[in-house]
Structure 1
Amino acid sequence: MALVSASVSQASNSGLALEDYSIYNQLSDDELLALAIERSLTNSPSLSGNQNQPGNQSSASRGETSGGLSSLRTGQPNGPNRANPPQNQPPEGAAAQYSSHNPPADKLFNPKNFSGTVSHFITGQGKRMVAYRKHDGALVHVCPEPEEEDGPLFAAIKKGDVRQVRALVGQEHSQMSSKPGWMAIHEAARHGQEACLNVLLTGKGQGMINMRTAQDQTALLLAVSYTHAACARLLLERGADTELMNKDRETPLYKACEEDNAEIVAMLLNHGASVNVHCNQGWTPLQEAVCRNNVEICEMLVQAGARLTPANVYGISPLFTAAQSGQVATLRFLIKQGADVDSQATDGATALYEATKNGHAKIVELLLSQKADANKASKRGLLPLHIAAQNGDDILVPMLIPATTKARIRRAGISPLHVAAEYNMDDVLELLIQADFDVNAQLSHEHSKLYEDHRTTALYFSVANNNVDAVRMLLEAGADPNLDLFNPLLVAVRGGCMETVTLLVEHGADVNAYLATHPTTFPATVLFAMKYLSMLKYILDSGCDALACFRCVHGSSPHPPMKLNHFERDEMRYTELNMTELTARHCVQFCEMVSIPSMCRWAGPIIDVLLDYVGRVKLCSRLQEHLDSYPDWHPIKVRATTTPPLMQMCRLRIRQVVGVQRLRRLKTLPLPGSLLRFLVYKEVLDAGGTLGGDAGSSQQEPTWPPQTPT
């Protein structure tokens, strides 16, 4: 196209690189054209020379259009940059050089003599434009679409000139507009000109009273839509049909309710308008009145025979509409008239459910006082209490708890505790715990399989969200930390949250938890804690089996190549597998795990920590290779190959006698404080000034020093 070449030339002359082009570069030529013309209409062109000459005016108009299009391509606000004019400007007075194939015309464009194609389009600001093109597609001229001039009769109607209307009404074709189907009576009803409408309806005009526009609108429908009560009364008295609908199947009564006009509603009802007609969406006039909380119109419609039960295409009844939109007055009226408070929409939601979802406390209170059933679930299986918990509404939750049965919640397969924990609604979680909801309730299989890790408890949700306060509340209320397929302790360890790990361990979480879907020969807690040495030491202090890390099936013999793939090694996704698949899978050994690229640099420090919690062990050939790879790790290898000190052997024996269960609750054991610190490798000075504990240990102090029981 010519305009495209013009824009490229403009850009190259301005010295703009390709990356300087704006987002307008993504627009089509027609869209760019529309925007450029819109700018040319809003910004008057600055012309040099005599602006009154016809040739100069046409050139300026066309030049402004081309410049606007180029400015869109280059991202400039209005043609070339005023602050940085383009180089190689032609000398003043020189002939203009045009890169476009359509240079400015010398004569004004005359659309009457044009023989090409004409297209119409609308700009972004709603302006109607006309584009004239040659048969080969080249643009010739663009201009605003000429406005349609009103005929004398329509002009007189707008002014309300009754005398002029009476004089023109008998002329042939005077009552027709250029708009398809638009007649003089429509114009009078649209502008509320009652006197002019009365003149138009006399004599032969009476037969046009029910004529429709292109949108199937009658004069009565237009008068009602624009709330012209006087015109509507005149049309009804002259016999206008109250049942004729527009293309959306909306009757005049429906539009009157939509406009919230009680006067016109009464007028239409007195002339026999039907009250139970549905529009395309299935709505009735009553639902429109309910939506606007107009009790007066609702009363008139019900007295005229409006039904309370009809539903729209979504199964929504008028009472549901009142609850959904929070209209207390109309809801109370409908209940008084006998509407069903437990009616359900297509998706199974009740009025109580919808009012809860939208947070309408007064509506919920009114429905509950009318014995609305809080145990009716939606098709998703959720009750109103679930939705209130999800929204964290601590006002509605106490109202719904007494109305909801525990048996119905168990049948739903999901507890409100799950929802509150998932969305971190701690206040609601506390209310539900105080209401004695089961903190160990588990998701049904249908709900659990929606999560990749197949979580089942509310505690898991809180741990996964790293919500320490919620974890503490659930554990103190008696939540079991070992119910999920993937232990919540592993989630906390993997996330590196020491506070959550401590809470879970102190409340009985299994420090020797394994991954059923990714079997290993050593506890999975060690697997996830290897990147956090302080956390690894805490897990080992709490009784984690460190000896399992040194059991290798290959021993001192050469190890075969590792069979771990990237999926097993790094992603650690948790899917449900049957036992046959589990036994057939390769069990990962500790020496294999520390050999992956992301962990091999930490093999020495990790082995050094583990050696504090084992007696005499024999390193396999792969672990020895790791310790030989760095000179600084030589002391660790020496330590692993020598007999442990007697102090360490005594400590390990005492820890073995105490047991894993008691080590988790070490603070509560009736043992001397020095012995408790000794069991967790806390180095202290005794009364004689010597070190109590393992002076040869290379590890730092644990992150949580146990307190001496009182």
Structure 2
Amino acid sequence: MDFTELYADSVSSVAVAARSGCRRRLRRLMKRGFSVDRRDNRGWNALHEAAAAGSTECVQEILSAAAGAGSSRGRAADVNSLTHEGESAAHLAAQRGHLAALRLLLEANANVNQLTNDLSCPLYAAVDGGHREVVELLLSKGAAANRTHTASCWTCLHQAVYKGHSDIVRVLVDVCDLEALDDHKISPLFVAAQYGQQECLEILVGAGANVSAQAADLASPLLIASQEGHGACVDFLLDHGADPNLDCSLEWPQLPIHAAAEFGHIGVLRRLIAVTDRACDRAEDMVSPLYLAVVSRQSRSVEMLLREGYSPDAQVCSHLQGVKSPLSLALSLTSNEPCSESVGLLVTAGARLGEEDWIHAIATDKTDLLTLILEHRWIPRQETLTRDGFVQNRNGKTFLTQQELRELLCVALNQVRFAACWLPLLLNAGLEPSLLLQPQMLQRADSEVLNYLLEFVNWSILSPPLKHILDQRRAAKTWEPRPHLDSIPLLSHLCRMQVRSVLGPDQLMRTDVVQQLPVPSPLHVFLRFRDIPQAIYTPSPPSPPL
């Protein structure tokens, strides 16, 4: 039932007069014997109506009539009568900020701490409504300042802070428990940080509230302010002793910087980067904020963290996130989509490429990831291979490490069915083709893929076992060589192979060094192997149903 709707047959004439603030009419009706105690469908009587309307004169008239009708006990019972929602006249007056009417009710012995059905009281109602003078009056009359008034156990101070009533907060900090906790152990200061009530936050801190009081789940005011992006509150908390390295989670070592990175609050993230211990970046028992930025697809957070020196590899977090690196996580989130911006940022920053990452790049007919990798990572010559670190070339880009190259080749040779997609990219990026002259490549590659690979080598000097594989495939008609592959390579082909060897495949294929050679321009295409037709990827036919 909607108790806010009034019905003509249930609202007394006296109540209507009280609601309208018509004292003369109210007095006339009362003299004619109309009862002030008759209730409507909400349980409201004339005093409730007068108090809610702020009609001081009508409140006075009703209270005077009650005082003259019987004992003080009867008068008190009348002034404290409740609606169906448990609201007293004093509660209704306080809720609406009617100071004069409330003062009359309190002088008539209204219960200053009467609770409603939902655990509110006159003080809580006045706080919620932002009525400072009413709050001061109630406190002066003995209103309990530290009782809880909601199912969540909020106090008046919690509510004042939540609503941002800073003038009331100034009043309450002198009488309220600054560290009062709700059912989640959240303090009023935590509420101020959560909802960005900076002025209230400053008042509470000035009154001595604990800036690092943690909730039941260990979340701190600094963490929640960082999560919500309240930069001014973050700055204030840090300036007044909040610890940016305080562990704020029961499940894993979460810091405020993680929350800022996860929700993309760049200004807050910038401030926290400057004060957070870098142990969170690489320590084994920590989690890099890069993981949170990646999983929430906050590319701006990823970019800032990398720019400020956070490692693109971070620590292995398989026990928490189920992944080995930020790049692996980013790729797992976009396995069926084009490369995300975060993937590009991590690759550009030199993230180490593992076997799982190469699978994402090569075990597919899509070449965007492999193209991206090869734009930022160079395939090294044999003499520049390193086991662990990166070697910088003259363009400032990094070479693949020996381990990365080994894992690339391993994945490539296990994904021969996609070779039409990845082979041209790798060879044109400077991969030594002899590294792919392996039995499994020659046995499983499509005919045109095999022809393309052979164009990059001296096919006449292949080892006997490899020649045997080719002979078997030719006999089985699974390989149809191009006509010239049956003869000895032309001198021109041998010459360009020598040029490739001398200059280095990386320089030949990926720079303008060829254009600088003193040879006719038509030879530029030939020297860079651009005249060789590429194979076209043909999807495998679907397997027949079982």
1:393 Cα deviation after fit: 3.2
Task: Decide which of 326, 348, 357 is 1:457's aligned counterpart.
Answer: 326
Aligned equivalents of 2:219, 2:362: Cα separation in 1: 36
* Match in the other structure for 1:49: none
Bigger radius of gyration: 1
- Whether the 8 Å contact between 1:295 and 1:329 is mirrored in structure 2 is yes
**Range with greater deviation from structure 2 (278-287 or 171-180):** 171-180
Letter in 1 for 2:315: Q
Match 2:489 to one of 645, 654, 658:
645
In structure 1, the partner of 2:107 is 237
Question: Are 1:163 and 2:14 counterparts?
Answer: no
**1:424–1:467 contact (8 Å) kept in structure 2:** no
Deviation per residue, 1:274-308 (Å, 9 max, x gap): 0001122211111122223333322322323x101
Cα offsets for 1:318-370 (capped at 9, x unmatched): 10111112122211111111111111123322111111122211111111111
Indicate conservation of the 8 Å contact 1:422/1:458, yes or no. Answer: no
Equivalent residues in 2 for 1:444-593, closer than 5 Å:
444-449=317-322, 454-458=323-327, 461=330, 474=346, 477-482=349-354, 485-487=356-358, 490=361, 495-497=366-368, 499-506=371-378, 507-509=398-400, 510=404, 513=407, 523-524=413-414, 526-531=416-421, 534-535=424-425, 537-538=427-428, 541=431, 543=433, 545-548=435-438, 550=440, 590=444
How do 1:196-595 and structure 2 match up within 5 A?
A: 196-201=58-63, 202-203=66-67, 204=69, 206=75, 207-279=77-149, 280-304=151-175, 306-379=176-249, 381=252, 382-409=254-281, 410=283, 413-422=286-295, 425=298, 427-449=300-322, 454-458=323-327, 461=330, 474=346, 477-482=349-354, 485-487=356-358, 490=361, 495-497=366-368, 499-506=371-378, 507-509=398-400, 510=404, 513=407, 523-524=413-414, 526-531=416-421, 534-535=424-425, 537-538=427-428, 541=431, 543=433, 545-548=435-438, 550=440, 590=444
Deviations 1:435-466 (A, max 9, x none): 332333234122341xxxx3413486379766
Residue 396 of structure 1 aligns with an amino acid whose one-letter code is V
Contact 1:489–1:501 (8 Å) recurs in 2: no
Corresponding position of 2:394: none
**Who is 1:685 aligned against?**
523
Equivalents in 2 of 1:184, 1:459: separation in Å? 71
CA distance in 2, matches of 1:698, 1:196: 99
**1 CA distance for matches of 2:214 and 2:259?**
16
SS of 2:448's equivalent? helix
Alignment partner of 1:401: what SS? helix
Distance 1:366 1:412, change over 3 A: farther
How far apart, CA to CA, are the structure 2 residues paired with 1:491 and 1:245?
69
User: What's the CA shift string for 1:611-669, capped at 9, x where partnerless?
Assistant: 324535334867876758xxxxx564x666x355255984798699789xx64565699
**Alignment partners' CA distance in 2, 1:224 and 1:447:** 52
Q: Which TM-score applies when normalising by structure 1?
A: 0.59
1-structure distance, mates of 2:46, 2:509? 94
Q: Residues of 2 paired with 1:179 and 1:460: CA distance?
A: 61
Distance 2:513 2:21 in 1: 104
**Most deviating of 493-502 and 245-254:** 493-502
Distance 1:292 1:127 in 2: 24
Alpha-carbon offset, residue 252 of structure 1: 0.9
What is the alpha-carbon distance in structure 2 between the residues aligned to residue 667 and residue 370 of structure 1?
58
1:18-39 per-residue CA deviation (whole Å, 9 max, x = no partner) reads xxxxxxxxxxxxxxxxxxxxxx
Contact 1:343 1:351 survives alignment (8 Å): yes
One-letter code aligned to 2:127: C
Shift of 1:535: 2.9
- Bigger relative CO (Cα 8 Å, ≥ 6 apart): 2
* Alignment partners' CA distance in 2, 1:384 and 1:353: 4
Unpaired runs of at least 5, structure 1: 1-120, 129-144, 553-588, 592-602, 629-633, 701-710
User: Aligned pair in 2 of structure 1 residues 399, 277: CA closer, same or farther (>3 Å)?
Assistant: same
Secondary structure of 2:217's aligned partner: coil
More helix by share: 2
2:20 and 2:53 in contact (8 A); partners too: no
**Partners of 1:187 and 1:423 in 2: CA distance:** 53
Contact 2:515-2:521 within 8 A present in 1 as well: no
CA distance in 2, matches of 1:693, 1:358: 54
Find the aligned partners of 1:695 and 1:271 in 2 and give their Cα distance. Answer: 93
Contact in 2 for aligned 1:440/1:479 (Cα 8 Å): yes
Partner Cα distance (2:7, 2:48) in 1: 23
Q: CA deviation at 1:546?
A: 3.0
Query: RMSD across aligned C-alpha pairs, in angstroms?
Result: 4.3
What letter matches 2:267 in structure 1?
I
Superimposed CA distance per residue, residues 140-169 of structure 1 (whole angstroms, 9 cap, x where no aligned partner): xxxxx9764532222222232323323444
- 1:113-192 matches, cutoff 5 A: 148=9, 150-169=11-30, 171=33, 175-179=37-41, 181-192=43-54
Distance 2:62 2:528 in 1: 110
Q: 1:238 to 1:644 in 2, by over 3 A?
A: farther
Contact 1:421/1:459 (CA < 8 Å) preserved in 2? no
Structure 2 CA distance for aligned equivalents of residues 530 and 209 of structure 1: 90
> Kindly tell me: are residues 395 and 325 of structure 1, through their superposed partners in 2, closer, same or farther at Cα, counting changes over 3 Å?
same
Which whole-Å CA distance do the structure 1 matches of 2:306 and 2:408 have between them? Answer: 30
Change (3 A) 1:369 1:494: farther
1: CA distance, partners of 2:240 / 2:434: 58
Alignment CA distance shift 1:307-1:234 (3 Å): same
2:453 corresponds in structure 1 to 610
CA distance in 2, matches of 1:696, 1:276: 85
Q: Could you tell me whether the CA contact under 8 Å between 1:481 and 1:489 is conserved in 2?
A: no
Equivalent residues, number: 488
